[in-house]
Amino acid sequence: MTIASNLGFPRIGRRRELKFALDRHWAGELDEAGLLTEAARLRATHWRLQQGLGISHVPSGDFSLYDGVLDTACMIGAIPPGYGWSGGPVSLPTYFALARGTRGDTPGQPALEMTKWFDTNYHYLVPRLAAGQRFELTENRPLALFEEARAAGTRTRPVLLGPVSFLLLCKPADDSDPLDLLDGVLPVYASLLRELAEAGCGWVQMDEPCLALDLPEKARVALALAYGTLAGGRQPTPDILLASYFGAMGDNLATAIRLPVAGLHLDLVRGAGDLDAALEAMRPEMWLSLGLVDGRNVWRTDLRAALATARRVATARGGDRRLMVAPSCSLLHVPVDLAQEDRLDPEVKGWLAFATQKLSEVAALARGLDEGDGAIRTALEASDEAARSRRMSARVHRPEVAQRVAAVTPDMERRASPFAVRRTGQQARLELPAFPTTTIGSFPQTAEVRRTRAALARGEMTEAAYEQAIEGWIAEAVRWQEDLGLDVLVHGEFERNDMVKYFGEQLDGYAFTRHGWVQSYGSRCVAPPIIWGDVSRPAPMTVRWSSYAQSLTPRPMKGMLTGPVTMLFWSFVRDDVPREQVCRQIALALRDEVNDLERAGIAVIQVDEPAFREGLPLRRAAWPDYLRWAVACFRLATAGVRDDTAIHTHMCYSEFNDIMAAIAAMDADAISIETTRSRMDLLDAFAVEGGSSYPAEIGPGIWDIHSPRVPTTEEMAELLALARRRLADRQIWVNPDCGLKTRRWEEVRPALENLVAAARRMRREVAQAL
């Protein structure tokens, strides 16, 4: 019998119940017991839902109050000093201190560094390890959740992050290699697996997504050692399903197949090339999990095509075929339930599937494989009709958009002059001091701002009244920034709901959901738009508000846009044409907006590309092609302006060393990056002494806005001093790590006062040294 399986379910709840519980807890409105009760209720709801949809292997341990990698670090005692932990179970305050930092009258501990989870828009917290790190099983969380589910009537398959991927995701606090700590980690994993087996757990899912990466031989040896120890020993353990996803295992497939595990999961959406080699090499007694349903995008599965693949596999395996059908990866990356979307265009809605619907597809495929087409005739017919409707829709492909993309010339992707020439014109126009100060764009989205936007959406407020409210907040923000002494101002983005959704709502080819939320990190959720057709800009999108803000001040006002690569990767993208084609369409729409902002007198235009690096393919062999079109699209969007108009960009937590040539090729006049948590280590890629040829200006963040801590002037000045060791003074801008939308004014005001004070201190020190 084919097993209908799931690798992970969205944690946040149908209506973001987890987010609101966390926010209430952090605000002091919900105590620890109340938060844990709500978390348990959500878990039980999700287990029942999956079981009711026909899923036989329901995951447990996929739920987290903040992040699964942090959960693993806390479970095995991988906690850096300074957070008050001395052994045993990690308290909830310590857990959140690691995730968010601490604050108080004295400087607290910073949060752990945060970065993107492989090539997704989910962020994980990066554990810090050092040579000689000791590990212990602080609490067998997978066992506790397995027993919690069993008591609720659901027998689950615990999910664990595998030991090798965990170590590879960690960052050394010294010059050591985290993989050298494997011998210390394995006894902890062995203990928790033994306890699971003793409790009657039949299967565990061990996630080793590192198998989709370019792995050194040392990592392959580590995998062999790890699973030889955990699955090949004499102690009782549950059967292990080894799961990799986000791409093909490729040259790592042979390593995975040789491991003494009971089953292997293949991502057949992004790694379909693994299938034939796996069928040829896998042991007959090994279970094969087929990731046939896309866990990262929202399009319906072509059930007939997927069923054909499953039947081919069943025929090849013969006899006791030992097959599971599953999503390609955890469903963490898609919204919970399409049934909530009562305002989506009916035609577009018919092409979609969210997590709940995808599990119905999984169950249908498993049943169809066992019982034949007749058993799932209704599902097959609905799938066929959705595929036909989407393929034949005249709304999807627009000839005028295709013609404009075809007319792009190389000159449209080049600025008129090199940066050295442009910089002179920009200095003359902007007249900025050394170490100019600015922010990344957004100011707090207060409850009043959100209520006003909601009132407009419900028809309870007129457009004129809404615009008057926005103008008031903008005017107040401009006055406050002038009084504070910031050099380049922003209008605050009070009219924007999200940095992608706001633009997508004004572009043709996009659709939007009411409840299509996915987790970005912690309680931060986003509702990615859906690109279903050709993209174009019917009218200006931001000029009205940027122009108004500029009219209020003689200081430079930044125009704020989201770049084409980020608009692409932070959306659910259509899968019927190449991504490069979609990105070029977006770039042309943004080019029109950039040019309109310039004509309106905006001298600094920031085109944010926080997704630029996360878009990199997991395998280096595919990098050159991606970087070619990603750089070209950014330049296509920005290269039409005059020399004295400054183009800025912003990128989030990333490792830049290996893509510096591409970042330089983007030809922005300034780039701001998140560097606080790394204490400027990320600047090494840009460093003068490091041999980088990066010519432009850089704004290294000196305030970690993902933490509620308000850093002191001394802390910020110290970070600026670290930046000066790596960059020339003429390059440095002073800014926070990221936008301030999620922070409170009570945090923003003192933090920005300290930021301006730190910049002024640095100017004085430099002047005195001359």
DSSP 125-137: E--EE-TT-----
d(CA 361, CA 269): 14
The tokens describing 355, both together, are: 């997590």
* Residue 770 clears pLDDT 50, i.e. is over it: yes
pLDDT in tens, 200-253: 999 999 999 999 999 999 999 999 999 999 997 778 899 999 999 999 999 999
Q: Which amino acid is at 480?
A: W
Rounded Cα distance between 643 and 203, Å, is: 62
Please name which of 247, 310, 19 lies closest in space to residue 120, comparing C-alpha atoms: 247
- At residue 693 the predicted structure's pLDDT band, cuts being 50, 70 and 90, is low
Per-residue confidence (pLDDT) for residue 691, from 0 to 100: 40
CA-nearest of 680, 679, 603 to 641 is: 603
Q: How many CA atoms lie within 13 A of 532 on its CB side?
A: 26
pTM above 0.95, yes or no: no
Beta bridge partners of 536: 508
Overall average pLDDT of the 166-178 stretch: 95
pLDDT confidence band for 387 (50 / 70 / 90): very high
Q: What is the pLDDT of residue 706?
A: 83
pLDDT value of position 346 = 96
Q: Which amino acid is present at 282? A: M
Q: What are the backbone angles phi and psi of residue 566, rounded to the nearest 5°?
A: -70, -40
Residue with tokens 């399009």: 299
As a whole number of angstroms, the distance between CA 170 and CA 128 comes to 6
With contact defined as beta carbons under 8 Å apart, do 594 and 415 qualify?
no
Query: Where does the pLDDT of residue 110 fall: very low under 50, low under 70, confident under 90, or very high at 90 and above?
Result: confident
Among candidate residues 25, 333, 650, 706, the one labeled active-site is 706
pLDDT tier for residue 688 given thresholds of 50, 70 and 90 = low
* pLDDT of 740 strictly over 80: yes
| Average pLDDT score over residue span 418-426 | 96
Other residues' Cβ atoms within 10 Å of the Cβ of residue 483: 8
Cβ–Cβ contacts within 10 Å for residue 463, how many? 8
Is residue 118's pLDDT more than 50? yes
Confidence (pLDDT) at 654: 63
pLDDT above 90 (res 66)? yes
Distance CA 449, CA 437 (A): 26
What is the distance between the alpha carbons of residues 502 and 493, in angstroms, rounded to a whole number?
10
Read out DSSP for 103-127?
-SSS--PPPPPEEESTTSS-EEE--
How many helices (H) and strands (E) the chain has is answered by 26, 21
Q: Name residue, tokens 């093909």.
A: 248
Taking 80 as the threshold, does the pLDDT of residue 692 lie above it?
A: no
The secondary structure element, H or E, covering residue 532 is strand 530-536
Model pLDDT, residue 575? 95
Share of the chain above pLDDT 70, in %: 98
Alpha helices in 248-393 (DSSP H): 253-258, 275-281, 303-317, 346-349, 355-371, 377-392
How far apart (Å, rounded) are the C-alpha atoms in residues 397 and 708?
46
Residue 706 bears catalytic tag:
yes
User: With 70 as the cut, is the pLDDT of residue 558 above it?
Assistant: yes
Q: Of 229, 296, 223, 292, nearest to 253 (Cα)?
A: 223
Look at residue 348 in the predicted model and tell me its pLDDT: 97
Confidence class of residue 104 from pLDDT cuts 50, 70 and 90?
Answer: low
Region 606-626 average pLDDT: 94
More confident residue, 318 or 601: 601
Question: With contact defined as beta carbons under 8 Å apart, do 644 and 422 qualify?
Answer: yes
Distance, in Å, from the CA atom of 587 to the CA atom of 631, rounded to the nearest integer, reads 11
pLDDT digits (tens, 9 = 90+) for 272-327: 999 999 999 999 999 999 999 999 999 999 999 999 999 999 999 987 889 999 99
pLDDT of res. 209: 98
Q: Which helix (H) or strand (E) holds 449?
A: helix 447-457
Say what the pLDDT of residue 235 is.
80
Judged by phi (left if over 0) then psi (alpha if -120 to 50, else beta), residue 412 lies in alpha
Residues 630-675 have pLDDT tens digits of: 999 999 999 999 999 999 999 876 677 788 889 999 999 999 988 8
